[in-house]
Structures are given as structure tokens and as C-alpha cells.
Chains A and B, each alone.
Chain A
Amino acid sequence: MEIFSARNVNKVFADTKALTGVSISVNKQSIFGLLGPNGAGKTTLIRIINQITAPDSGEVFLEGRQMTRADIEHIGYLPEERGLYKKMKIGEQAIYLAQLKGMSRHDAVKNLKKWFEKFEIMSWWNKNIEELSKGMQQKVQFITTIVHQPKLLIFDEPFSGFDPINANLLKQEILQLREDGATIIFSTHNMESVEELCDHIALINKSVKIVDGQTDEIRERYKSNVFEIKYKGSFNVVNQVLNNQFKILGHVENNRINQITVEYSHGKSNNDLIQALIPVSEILSFEEKIPSMNDVFIRAVEEANKQAPLNLPEGEK
């Protein structure tokens, strides 16, 4: 079920196209990855969702209704550039930010205490933010983002500045939030975390959405019929047998076990390959190579840039 959608959103800054006809649809209780190179327009889209900037044309919808200013109380936003008031007690500051999101003081205190205890940072309540390390500040900021129980959460590079242990803790919290009913839009350059967390992604390049779909489906889409096969037997013989039908991309021999990477030429199937191999070798494993999100990202962006090379200077803001 769709909770949020952007429809044909356009935004032009003085001399730069930030978004060109971008549409996305985010399902309830999913994690949606918003990807793209630097300066592609992700932050602009996020700011439009947050009602910080208005699009030149196009609309954004939350739960089927066109979004208004009042809806921002249902959004929690963790910007890429973090920051809190330097000279304000952490507890007071968190209460203030929660109140600005429409919570009553009483509820804010109650929820905050719960989260502070969960993150074991209750002792920081009366400290100034200056006294904390960067990673500690991130924790506080994360809590202030989610404390008002928003329906839609927007995390821009949430893991930056966290050590692996805390990053993992955060990952668990994000998954838990989805479990509890929240929907998450997640913008990052860390493709590993995209593979781990995102149900769905959209890739924006130079203001245009170039890829959109389920994460698995996209990786599937970007697979290039490459297989990895391990077998016992002579490489030379295999090479001769396969050479006229398949393209061997790589070969490693280790302890009389050969591993080859094979790309299918047109019209060939798995069975053709196996049939060719069975007479000359003993197959140990046979696996299709699914591209990583990283590969998908790079390939998609490179292809898009090849198609529209004239657009190039625009991306450089």
C-alpha cells in the first residue's frame, strides 16, 4: 500500500536543473532507498518532501492526500549535515525540538526518557552538546528525529559518523521502526547498507530518475548472464568445448579445482552450458552472478551519462 508519492516533480534553481519530472512511490512499512551521485537532486527532493522548498511543478502526496504544511509533523528528518544547539542542555533541546514537531511537553519528556534509557544515554540529559563526541551527538540527533513517532522517516546518510557497533545498533533500530509501522526513505552512498536494508530503490542522476524498482528485481535486471562455475577437470578441455558457444571471462585454478566465470552469448540457456560441461568435467557448483548494488549504481549512472553527455556540466553544482 502506498503511503507517499511524488508525481512529476520539477525544480529549477537559478541556472541548474535540480529535478526533472521525478516521480516516486513509497509503500507503507517499507524502506525506500533514494540513491544518486553527488548533486543529482536527492537533497532537493528530500527538502520538497519536508516542505522546506516548493517544487516548480508536480505534487507530493501523503496517504493519498496532497501534502500540506501541517503534514510535516508526521515526518521525521535526519539531514546529512547534523547539528544541534551548542549551548543548550541536551534534554531541554530534545524537548524543544519534539515540541516544534507538535508534541506536548509531557509526551515529549515521556518518550524522550524512554529512548534515552534505551540508548543508555540518560546521564547526558543535563549536559551541553559541546561536551559530547561526534558519535554521541549523532545518537541524540537520531532520537530527536524519531521521538514524535512520525509515519514517514527520512534519513540522509544516517550511518556517517557512527562506529561499526553503533551503526549496527542503528540498523537494528531502523528495521524495528519499520516493523512498528513506520515508512523510511533512506538516502545514502553506502551501497552495502542499501542491499541490506532497502526494499525498493530509486536512482536519480542529473535531476532525472534513471532506475526505480524493488531492490532484488533491479539487481536481477542488471545481471548480465554471467555465471560462476567450479568443477574438477582440465581447463584446456573445458576451454575448447565452451569456446565457440560461451565467453570465458575469468579462470582461477586452485588445488586442481577450477573456477571459471562465463558469459552467455545470445540465445543460450543454463542447460546448454551444463550439457556442454558434463561430458568433460565434474561440476561442483554453479551460480549466477548477481551484481552488487554498487555495480548497479555505477553501470546505471555510466549508461545514463553516455546517453546524454551534453548534460554533463549541469550536474556540477
Chain B
Amino acid sequence: MNKTVLILKNEYLKRVKKKSFIILTLLVPFLFAGVFALVIFLSINNDKKERTIAVFDESSLFLNELGEEGMTKYKFIPKEEYEQLKSNMKGSGFYALLYIPNDIYTNNIAQLISEKQVPFELNEQIERKLSRYIENDKRQKIINETGIPDLEERLSNTKTSIRLSTLKVSVTGETQKSSSAIAFVASYAMGFIIYFFVFMYGATVMRSVMEEKKSRIIEVIISSVKPYELMAGKIIGTALVGLTQVAIWIVLGMVVLMVAQGFFTPESAQQMGQSIMESQQQMNPAMAQVAEPNKVLEVMEMIGNLNIPLILFTFIFYFLVGYLLYSSLLGAVGAAVDNEEDSQQMVFPVTIPLILSIMVLFPIARNPEGPVAFWFSIIPLTSPVAMMARIPYGIPTWELLLSMFLLVLTTIGAIAAAAKIYRIGLLMYGKKINLKELFKWLRYKN
């Protein structure tokens, strides 16, 4: 045990002191902050380019007026000029050419001609303008025909949008506000975090084993410590490196956030908020509702209503056991192979379940009760990721216990098998290793 601590310490310090670790750990939060800032910056300073669009209005519906919006201006032109521009737009100073045909009222089709690909936003803006105008026109006509003066108002009152406020009934009969959107985000995020860390640090364990084998120091080491002490030290040490990294990211992330808050003036923050809201409204009206003030409280309440202790517990459980399972398997692979190329071949079959589980993460989060969700969260090699995607929705206790039980059982088996492969593989050189060979090793006696 004492030696495991020594190995763990050495493994930990070696990795934490590495330049690449320090750089990556310090850089990632800034990188994220930078990308985020860039996106905000671009969305604020978007469309600083002045654009004039030539409009040929064959229908004469728009009466030479489309108004200005943002940096975009509209200039109406006669037919002759339109014909001329259509064949040669270069040097005209117009960004694009809008052709409103005679039958727009019935066909709902107009044409935008340009040299370059027109930005999505501009496209939308024009569509919106034209639709709104024609809509108003049609509406006015109806008002005129029916003679009901407040028809407009009465019609707009008929607009209805139903939101489902989801309540969950707990065993005790209490109802709680829940939100499938929040459960969705939470489940997706947790599944992904587990996948990411298991993969990344499992591979680190493997490389560490390979390094010792390749440099031949392994024979000296295992004449000092037992192979399983070595493996345990490595796996725990690497896990601590991962936790250190996450801890630094959290702290740095908070610092960056605070600095960013101080950096942006209230005005720019407001502007930023507005531009984000606008873009959200355009993209998805439902999401914009979340940002309404009274909704924010509701969201907070919903988050609070997720079963946080259960989620935290299962997250830590699946994270640790999943990591243990995969890092011991990958450690065994590292011990079995001699070189990088062989390791690539061996890593793939070992990590297929992990890759599969991240592939089904989205379907599971959308339908957490389906057969895919059930089986992937019960089968041990996929359950660390898949089960996390189901937890926020609530899950029958027996399923959770079964999944945990199977995972622990498999992990114990995997560690035993890995330890055996590890012990044999460490001193085996110059042999081409495949899965068949590994299964043969498992049958070896000491």
C-alpha cells in the first residue's frame, strides 16, 4: 500500500509538472472565454457593413418604401435599370437586387439576385418585411370588407400558445415542477463529461504503462513492487491529475467570469443581452421565453427540483467506476502491446462500447424510457455514460441498482483480467498481440 502511494505521488507529480499539462489546464478556460467573447463581440458588431439593395417592384404594392433596417437600405429602381443591373451588377454599388413580381400576392415568391451568397439574416429580414406588408394588406382588406372596426384586435386575441408546465409526482404524492428541457441539458452534459474524462484519462494510463514498458524500466519497477500496486498507483494518480485539472478549470472559469463581468460596462452588457435575446427570439421563440424574468425564477426552481443529491451521487459513482473499468482495460492494453500502431488496433475494440454510448446519448436523452435507453444503461460497458443521461429524468430504483451492481461486478472482473494481462504483458516483447492472444493469457496460471 505504501508503495502504491509512492507510485501515485510520482505519477501525479510527473504529469502535473509537465509543461503540456500546465499549458492546457491554464489555457482551456481562457480559450473558452476567448471564443465566447469573440462570439459576443461579433454578434454586437455584426452587420456594420452598409448594404444597399436595389428593388424592382413590378407589383407596385410597396409604394417605393421598404424602410431601413440596421445597416441595410433599400432603393427602388425602374425596370430599365433592373434589366441592366441583372446582366451586370459589378461596380453598381448595390449589394443585391430584389425582384418583386406582379403575382407576389398570390404566389408568395420574390427573387433576390446577388453576386455573393446573401447572409442568412438579410434573407430573413427581407422575407419578414415582405410577408408582414402583404399580411397587413390582406388583413386591412378583410377589415374593410367586414366593416368590423376592432377586428384586428379581436383576431390577435385569438392567438394562443400553450406551454406545458410539467409536474412530476413523487412517491409521496407531492408534485414538483420539472422541465424536460433542463433534464435534457443536464443529462447530455453529464454523459458527455463522463465520456470525455474516461476516454482521456484512460488513454493517459495506457500511455504511461506503454512508456514504462518501452523504456524497459518496467523490469526494475516490478522487481520492487507488485504489478497490481503499480497499476493501482497509476490509475489513482492519473485520476487525481484529472480532478486537479477540473478543479483548476472551475476556479479559473469563475475568475474569468468575474473579470468578464467587470470588463463589460453595463451598457455593453445590456446591448449584449439584447442582441442575444433578439437572435434567440428569431431562432426559437420558445427559448426566449426562458429568459423572461419570471421564467428565470421558475427555471431556478426546476433546477432545484432535480434530485440533486441523487444526481451527484450517481455522477460520482459512474464517473469513478467507469474510469476504473476503462483505465484498467486500457492499462492492460498498454502492457500487452509493444508499439503505438499495435495499441491503436487494440484500443479500438476496447473503446467501442464507450463510443457507442456517446452515439446513443442524444436518442437516450430524448427518449429516456425507450429500449435503447434501458439496455445501454444496464449493460456495464455502456452504462457509465448512458445511465447518466437517464438519471435527471428519474429512474426506477431497481434499474439503477441493477445497473450499478452489474457495473461493479464487471469492473472487478475487468480489473482481475487486466491485472493478469498486465503482469504477463509487461515482460513480453516482440510478440504481435491480438485479442485471441490476450484471451489465451487469461487462461495462464501464475
Contacts and interface: CB of A to CB of B under 8 A. Distances in A.
B224 interface: yes
B446 A54 contact: yes
A228 to B, nearest CB: 45
A52 B427 contact: yes
Contacts of A67: none
A259 interface: no
Given A69-B226, A96-B6, A100-B6, A84 B221 contact: no
B220 A97 contact: yes
A191 interface: no
Interface residues of A, number: 29
Chain A interface helix/strand/loop/mixed: loop
A100 B219 contact: no
Interface in A63-91: 69, 72-73, 75, 77, 79, 81-88
Contact of B217 (A73, A84, A99): A84
B6 A79 contact: no
B14 A79 contact: no
Nearest to B2: A102
A79 B444 contact: no
Contacts of B224: 72-73, 97, 100-101
A99 B219 contact: no
A39 B356 CA distance: 45
Contacts, number: 58
Contacts of B440: 14
Interface string B184-227: 00000000000000000000000000011001111111111110
Contacts of B220: 77, 79, 83, 97, 144-145
Interface in A42-68: 47, 50-54, 56
Contacts of A72: 223-224
Interface in B2-29: 3, 6-7, 10, 14
Contacts of B14: 87-88
Interface residues on B, range: 20 to 34
Interface in B357-393: none
Contacts of A73: 224
Given A14-B444, A52-B427, A54-B446, A100 B217 contact: no
Contacts of B225: 100
Nearest to A148: B224
A233 B384 CA distance: 96
Nearest to B226: A69
Nearest to A13: B444
Interface in B427-446: 427, 440, 444-446
A83 B215 CA distance: 5
A52 B217 contact: no
Given A14-B444, A69-B226, A101-B224, A79 B10 contact: no
A317 B163 CA distance: 75
Contacts of A54: 446
Nearest to B213: A83
A53 B426 CA distance: 12
Contacts of B211: 85-86
Contacts of A56: 445
Contacts of A88: 14
Interface of B: 3, 6-7, 10, 14, 211-212, 215-226, 427, 440, 444-446
Interface of A: 14, 47, 50-54, 56, 69, 72-73, 75, 77, 79, 81-88, 96-97, 99-101, 144-145
25 contacts: A14-B440, A53-B446, A56-B445, A72-B224, A77-B219, A77-B220, A79-B216, A81-B219, A83-B215, A83-B216, A83-B217, A83-B218, A83-B219, A84-B215, A86-B211, A86-B215, A88-B14, A96-B6, A97-B220, A97-B221, A97-B224, A100-B6, A100-B7, A100-B225, A144-B220
Given A72-B223, A100-B224, 18 more contacts: A14-B444, A52-B219, A52-B222, A52-B223, A56-B445, A75-B223, A79-B219, A83-B215, A85-B215, A85-B217, A86-B211, A96-B6, A96-B10, A97-B220, A100-B221, A100-B225, A101-B224, A144-B220
Q: Which 8 A-B pairs have the closest CB atoms?
A: A83-B216, A100-B224, A50-B223, A83-B217, A83-B215, A79-B219, A81-B216, A77-B223
